[in-house]
């Protein structure tokens, strides 16, 4: 090892801090019995220490931090999405099976003829938990309840004191007995107290007594069934819920592997597939319309501005790219106010010109029109800047030759300008298509994907695109989350994005660029 100069000490110190944190997480993961993640963490710790302590891994020292971030926050989430799409993860199926079983087994019921206990409560100060003394109503046996545990005691136990000599125990280890009024004051606390007694549980019944509650369910691991101890009915796991022969299901459910069910649901269940298909088609229409309108207007303005003799070109350029400089979330919200159907300026102007007002935001068709207009406003400056660059690279000779041949202005545009600009900007137009395909902000901030599609079982709106649809499936308040179905839709977006980009890479030779790096 090299001499210990300052740089080395710093490196070792940083590595030590990292290792300390990593080992700490490893311990927590071990306690949580999360072994798969623990294994990944241990491998990660080893790799990172190796890279920074070995002298053979020079380039990796630079690349590793970025790689870790990329793997954790891009690659892993993408792969995890694939996994989720094959599960029923979502509301009602958040827990894993082990957790769900222990939740179900923690459900108790009160038998028709429960054992009951009179109780007295004892208290030392505000901090310590109450101590309870139980007396079995049938045989008079005494039990001491401390911190959730029951212990049988005899009357002569030295902890139980009768300081007043009236035959009643009024102190336990310095805890004073509570009068009835104090018990009423503490009733909320006492109600929450649970004591386990054999396989049963003691809970407060009324101000004088506790009763024994029995577990309602028992899990039979060998046969993988949940048995209802009251009726001996058996519940078998079906799609993440324990279900009996009559189809009754226990809560909570658990997450489980579903195979292709989510994908199948998208295609075959008409309540899901019909709105999904509408969302799917509109996503393509939206992306295509966005590219065509922004490119059309952008190119048109670029041609107007592409004139050296024109005055004020610089000023025009700055003013025209202003919409592009404002964060989209702000301008979309401004437009949302302007398109407000009752009080927005757009409808007020229409009425002033003697036209009737339009149900923007309430009618699917008109909301789509408004969205395309808003996105035109947002997106044309980018296309204009690109087109201006492309126009400048077209040689003037081409136009001179065309003029000599008697070509009209339209013909010059149609046969020289447009094809050359399209070739130059083709890849960027495809990228813009892919971007708008996933343009969540404009769609969601403008109207949250609404108006709703009538009769849809999933929260699908008339202006929802696939990405906003997955968001609503996962996080829309009030509906419950269906992460599994959302992930299946995301997979579809993956494949479409991948296909579009593959085509684009072929077009631009980006892959060749990688090969050149050999």
Partner 1 sequence: MNNYTPTWMKIAKHAVIWLMIAFCMFPILWALSASFNPANTLVGQPLIPERISFSNYETLFTSQQHPFATWLINSVKIALIASFGSVALTTLAAYPFSRFNFWGRRNGLFMILLVQVFPQMLAMVAIYLLFLNVQTIFPAIGINTHPAVIITYMGGAIGVNTWLMKGYMDTIPRSIEDAAFIDGASGFQIFYRIILPLSKPILGVIFVIQFIGSYSEYVLARVLLNSTDRLTLAVGLHLFVAEDYGGRWGVFSAAAMLGAIPIIILFMLVQDHIVTGFLSGGGVKG
Nearer to partner 1, 231 or 308 (CB): 308
Q: Can you tell me the distance from the alpha carbon of 431 to that of 307, in angstroms, rounded to the nearest whole number?
A: 28
Would you say 284 or 435 has its CB closer to partner 1?
A: 435
| Closer residue to partner 1 (CB): 201 or 464 | 464
Q: Give the pair of three-digit tokens for residue 421.
A: 């600009």
Minimum distance, C-beta of residue 248 to partner 1, in the bound complex (Å): 29
Q: How far is the CB of 340 from partner 1 (least distance, A)?
A: 6
Q: At 87, is the secondary structure helix, strand, or coil?
A: strand
Nearest residue (CB) to partner 1, 216 versus 442: 442
**Shortest Å distance, C-beta 114 to partner 1:** 37
Largest alpha-carbon pair distance within the chain? 126
Question: Which residue pairs, CB below 8 angstroms and at least 24 apart, start in 230-238?
Answer: 230/109, 237/97
Strand, helix or coil for residue 328: helix
Output phi, psi for 247, to 5 deg: 90, 5
Find the shortest distance in angstroms from Cβ 423 to partner 1. Answer: 14
Which 3 state secondary structure label does DSSP give 120?
strand
Q: Closer CB to partner 1, residue 215 or residue 451?
A: 451
Contact 462, 278 (CB under 8 A): yes
Dihedral in degrees, nearest 10, Cα atoms 457, 271, 92, 221:
170
Number of helical H runs and strand E runs in the chain: 20, 15
In the complex, minimum distance from the CB of residue 239 to partner 1, in angstroms, rounded to a whole number: 20
| Distance of closest approach, residue 241 Cβ to partner 1, in angstroms | 20
Q: How does DSSP assign 177-223, residue by residue?
A: EPPHHHHHHTHHHHHH--EEETTEEEEE-SSSEEEEEEESEEEETTT
Residues 6+ apart with CB under 8 A from 317: 305, 388
- Is the CB of residue 163 less than 8 Å from the CB of residue 171? yes
In the complex, minimum distance from the CB of residue 316 to partner 1, in angstroms, rounded to a whole number: 5
Least Å distance, CB 387 to partner 1, is: 11
State the nearest-atom distance from the C-beta of 34 to partner 1, in Å: 8
Rounded Cα distance, 418 and 184, in Å: 86
The least distance separating partner 1 from the CB of residue 194, rounded to whole angstroms, comes to: 24
Instruction: For partner 1, give the closer residue by CB, 214 or 336.
Output: 336
Report residue 293 as tokens: 């309108």
Nearer to partner 1, 183 or 332 (CB): 332
Shortest distance (Å) from residue 179 CB to partner 1: 42
Decide: 395 and 465 in contact? Cβ < 8 Å. no
Residue (23 or 184) nearer to partner 1, CB: 23
Judged by CB, which is closer to partner 1: 243, or 331?
331
What whole-number distance in Å separates Cα of residue 402 and Cα of residue 332? 43
Which is nearer to partner 1, 38 or 189 (by Cβ)?
38
Q: Least distance from C-beta 369 to partner 1, angstroms?
A: 16
Residue 77, classed as helix, strand or coil, is helix
Identity of the residue, 225 or 398, whose beta carbon is nearer to partner 1 in the bound complex: 398
Angle at CA 34, nearest 5°, toward 28 and 39? Answer: 95
Q: Which is nearer to partner 1, 71 or 184 (CB)?
A: 71
Angle between helices 364-392 and 270-305 (to 10 degrees): 40
What's the closest the beta carbon of residue 366 comes to partner 1, in angstroms? 17
Between 226 and 384, name the residue whose CB sits nearer to partner 1. 384
Strands 160-161 and 149-153: unpaired
Long-range own/partner contacts, residues 334-341 (CB < 8 A, 24 or more apart) = 335/370, 335/374, 335/377, 335/446, 336/361, 336/445, 336/446, 336/447, 339/370, 339/374, 339/446
Coil, helix or strand at residue 153? strand
- Comparing C-alpha atoms, which of 430, 404, 401 is closest to residue 416? 401
CA distances from 60 to 11, 51, 389 (A): 15, 7, 39
For residue 110, the Cα-to-chain-centroid distance in whole angstroms is: 40
């Amino acid at each position: 090892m090299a001499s210990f100069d300052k740089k080395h000490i710093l490196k070792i110190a940083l590595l030590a801090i990292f290792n300390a944190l990593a080992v700490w997480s490893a311990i927590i993961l071990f306690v949580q019995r999360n072994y798969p993640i623990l294994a990944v963490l241990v491998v990660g710790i080893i790799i990172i220490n190796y890279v920074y302590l070995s002298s053979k891994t020079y380039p990796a020292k630079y690349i590793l931090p970025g790689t870790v971030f990329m793997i954790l926050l891009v690659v892993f989430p993408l792969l995890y999405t694939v996994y989720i799409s094959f599960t029923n993860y979502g509301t009602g199926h958040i827990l894993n099976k082990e957790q769900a079983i222990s939740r179900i087994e923690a459900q108790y019921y009160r038998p028709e003829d429960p054992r009951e206990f009179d109780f007295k409560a004892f208290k030392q100060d505000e901090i310590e938990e109450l101590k309870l003394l139980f007396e079995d109503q049938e045989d008079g046996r005494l039990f001491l309840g401390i911190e959730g545990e029951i212990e049988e005691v005899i009357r002569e136990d030295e902890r139980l004191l009768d300081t007043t000599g009236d035959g009643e125990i009024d102190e336990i280890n310095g805890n004073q007995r509570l009068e009835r009024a104090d018990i009423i004051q503490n009733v909320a606390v006492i109600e929450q107290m649970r004591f386990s007694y054999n396989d049963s549980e003691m809970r407060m019944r009324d101000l004088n007594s506790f009763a024994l509650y029995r577990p309602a369910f028992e899990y039979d691991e060998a046969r993988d069934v949940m048995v209802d101890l009251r009726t001996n009915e058996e519940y078998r796991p079906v799609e993440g819920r324990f279900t009996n022969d009559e189809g009754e299901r226990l809560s909570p459910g658990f997450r489980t592997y579903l195979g292709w069910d989510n994908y199948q649901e998208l295609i075959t269940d008409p309540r899901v597939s019909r709105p999904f298909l509408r969302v799917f088609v509109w996503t393509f229409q939206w992306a295509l319309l966005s590219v065509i309108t922004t490119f059309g207007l952008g190119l048109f303005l670029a041609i107007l501005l592409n004139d050296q003799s024109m005055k004020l070109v610089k000023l025009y350029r700055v003013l025209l790219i202003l919409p592009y400089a404002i964060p989209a979330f702000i301008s979309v919200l401004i437009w949302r106010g302007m398109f407000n159907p009752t009080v927005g300026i757009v409808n007020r102007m229409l009425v002033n010109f003697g036209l009737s007002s339009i149900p923007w935001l309430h009618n699917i068709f008109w909301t789509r029109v408004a969205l395309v207009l808003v996105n035109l406003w947002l997106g044309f400056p980018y296309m204009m800047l690109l087109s201006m660059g492309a126009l400048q690279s077209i040689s003037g000779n081409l136009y001179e030759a065309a003029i000599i041949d008697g070509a009209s202005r339209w013909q010059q545009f149609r046969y020289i300008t447009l094809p050359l600009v399209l070739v130059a900007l083709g890849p960027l137009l495809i990228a813009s298509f892919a971007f708008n395909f996933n343009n969540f902000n404009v769609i969601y901030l403008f109207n949250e994907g609404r108006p709703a599609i009538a009769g849809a079982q999933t929260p699908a709106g008339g202006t929802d695109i696939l990405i906003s649809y997955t968001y609503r499936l996962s996080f829309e308040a009030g509906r419950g989350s269906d992460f599994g179905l959302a992930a299946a839709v995301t997979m579809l977006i993956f494949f479409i994005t991948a296909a579009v980009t593959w085509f684009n890479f072929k077009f631009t030779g980006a892959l060749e660029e990688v090969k050149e790096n050999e």
